[in-house]
Structure 1
């Protein structure tokens, strides 16, 4: 079994480890270089520094945001990381001196849950990963669905409204990820409480203490998530939906979404099916595990 360097590149941090089979070792994280820069050098130097700490590895498995053609090893768009637009990953292979396989982060999460987690044996399922934004992964026919244009499950692009003037470009506040991500939830709570900011731990602490202001914002966000789950059901009719990201480790979040889903379905005159909504098994490790499994599958297929 090969020992691989595995990296999960996020908007604010790069998580890393080495993996060999089911063993995860040397876990750590470093800040992600400024995503608004178009110069990739700081990002590439950061990866080089991580690889130097790991010693001898036989490959590099990458989970990254953006529109990624895994077969062609090409990153079309890099999400919020502007320096990762139009990247030929084979150039990174030459620079780092190792074989590289790269896949979209939400698809990595879906791969992890399908191969080892809570989507095992599921023919049709969905992963929704909540963090800085919202990532989506779709399982159809027991396989990860990428779509004709690599856009299947692109939850970050789901709209919640249409511009009043159709000639105006779509803005970030019209995106679901700008309303219901973990980052957005915390921002909405902070605004409602009239404070500068908060984090997930504070948010759930207030919920547990019965803070009515926080409970109202939380319920509204769960309702908005339930609305999009309804839309997902209308298109895919998934057997199970796995909620991921660090926030999904708190049972209050998963139960809040379940409750909103039940209330939403109860508003229909005729019975509407309830999807099985559960937390992802691997939480923050899902992208790492999925990237590793993706590397092995791609290496075998090539």
Structure 2
């Protein structure tokens, strides 16, 4: 059975572990069917019990593909680093879960899974080198060269959010290029004893609110500096933007103008920037986890 036939024949449980919720889905016949989400368990034993219930309920015999936070060493089957789910770290989690569930299990970092989804079936298909930036509460990302992840010597490949954007305050791209952080900063400056969402800040800017527009400009500037740094460091064929903010119609236009200006100002005008949104949004981590599973089991 070749790789494509194996893919079509299998029924795989895909899991995306988040800090507040777990998303899951069934991969069958080259298609993902999402299942109801579940509040992230408080302990590892509760997590294992929940995953066991899904395996039994859906009669999973082929395996479980997991997207997880943290510095995932897929080969070792250990999750290093830190995350909002602390009980996942620094023990042979892959082997323990494989033994417990009785089926093959794979792990990959969540941002890397989103990258793999784009490489496999999204806007990075056939692209030699791609950098993926996921914009949310912080900034995550991934790098793929010739269709394979480049995770780095210390599993920090693609951790673009750690870039220092402000040399005076040492604020990072995650501090300044996150729409969540932008909205929190706006709320503090607005001083109206309420918390605004990023959507509300954009809506206010559209009505002429100068403070809202100022904060949005700073947000776009930070992201543009981050993308500029990626371009001059990696010179990828394409930079893909993911996360909920990527659906904004004016996002790419704002980023392209600013990045082009930075490249021209600093003598790199020959460097052409291909910036695109990702194809997959909410299902990206699940689809990428499946691809990780299929490549490991091939």
Could you say which residue in structure 2 is the equivalent of 1:168? none
Shift of residue 115, structure 1, vs aligned partner: 1.1
- The partner residue of 1:105 within 96, 110, 120 is 110
- List aligned pairs for 1:188-199, cutoff 5 A: 188-195=185-192, 196-199=194-197
Shift of residue 99, structure 1, vs aligned partner: 1.3
Query: Does the 8 A contact of 1:77 with 1:84 survive in 2?
Result: no
1:139 to 2:156 alignment: no
SS at match of 2:240: strand
CA distance in 1, matches of 2:33, 2:56: 15
Cα 1:143–1:203 change in 2 (3 A) is same
1:40 to 2:44 alignment: yes
1:268 to 2:266 alignment: yes
1:31 to 2:39 alignment: yes
Could you say which residue in structure 2 is the equivalent of 1:2? 10
SS at match of 1:14: strand
- Where does structure 2 lack aligned partners over 5 or more consecutive residues? 1-8
Could you say which residue in structure 1 is the equivalent of 2:126? 121
CA distance in 1, matches of 2:14, 2:191: 40
Could you say which residue in structure 2 is the equivalent of 1:185? 182
Could you say which residue in structure 2 is the equivalent of 1:281? 279
Shift of residue 272, structure 1, vs aligned partner: 4.8
Query: Does the 8 A contact of 1:5 with 1:16 survive in 2?
Result: yes
Task: Decide which moves more: 233-242 or 134-143.
Answer: 134-143
Query: Does the 8 A contact of 2:129 with 2:237 survive in 1?
Result: yes
Shift of residue 161, structure 1, vs aligned partner: 5.0
- Where does structure 1 lack aligned partners over 5 or more consecutive residues? 165-172
- The partner residue of 1:214 within 212, 215, 218 is 212
CA RMSD, aligned part only? 2.4
Query: Does the 8 A contact of 2:78 with 2:89 survive in 1?
Result: no
Query: Does the 8 A contact of 1:11 with 1:132 survive in 2?
Result: no
Query: Does the 8 A contact of 1:219 with 1:256 survive in 2?
Result: no
Shift of residue 223, structure 1, vs aligned partner: 0.5
CA distance in 2, matches of 1:78, 1:261: 32
Query: Does the 8 A contact of 1:126 with 1:242 survive in 2?
Result: yes
Cα 1:208–1:103 change in 2 (3 A) is same
SS at match of 1:183: helix
Task: Decide which moves more: 229-238 or 155-164.
Answer: 155-164
- The partner residue of 1:14 within 16, 22, 31 is 22
SS at match of 1:95: helix
Task: Decide which moves more: 125-134 or 148-157.
Answer: 148-157
Task: Decide which moves more: 134-143 or 1-10.
Answer: 134-143
Alignment size in residue pairs: 288
Shift of residue 50, structure 1, vs aligned partner: 4.3
Query: Does the 8 A contact of 2:260 with 2:269 survive in 1?
Result: no
- What TM-score do the two structures reach when normalised by structure 1? 0.85
CA distance in 1, matches of 2:206, 2:197: 15
Task: Decide which moves more: 218-227 or 16-25.
Answer: 16-25
Could you say which residue in structure 1 is the equivalent of 2:70? 66
